[in-house]
Amino acid sequence: MNETEYKTLKELSTDGTLSQRDLSKRIGLSLGSVNYIIKELVKKGYIKTQKFKNSNNKAAYVYAVTPKGISARVKQTQYFLRVKIEEYERLKKEIDELKKENMYK
């Protein structure tokens, strides 16, 4: 799962009634990209879609994250957290080294 799929899955976990347009605004991607990502998440079995009529007589979808999707999201969260902590530790070490260099000048 890539980062854009993760962000999409995370948003849909929070609110499965989001329109693709609203979702695209929240995650900063084009509407076409969001449509593609949703199709991929459905293919992978991470979400299910259900069509309904909204109050404006337009067809809309509700997105339900499946148990497989929840599991994938948890694993991806753990992975991203591990990567960010490692990045933080590297940056902290680099900052500490730069501080030491400046103390001796």
Class at the top of the CATH hierarchy for domain 3-103: mainly alpha
Please determine, for residue 54, whether its predicted confidence score (pLDDT) is greater than 80.
no
Confidence of residue 1 (pLDDT cuts 50, 70, 90): confident
pLDDT digits (tens, 9 = 90+) for 4-36: 999 999 999 999 888 899 999 999 999 999 999
Q: Is the pTM of this model over 0.85?
A: no
Mean pLDDT in residue range 54-81: 86
DSSP class per residue in the chain = --HHHHHHHHHHHH-TT--HHHHHHHHT--HHHHHHHHHHHHHTTSEEEEEEE-TTS-EEEEEEE-HHHHHHHHHHHHHHHHHHHHHHHHHHHHHHHHHHHHHT-
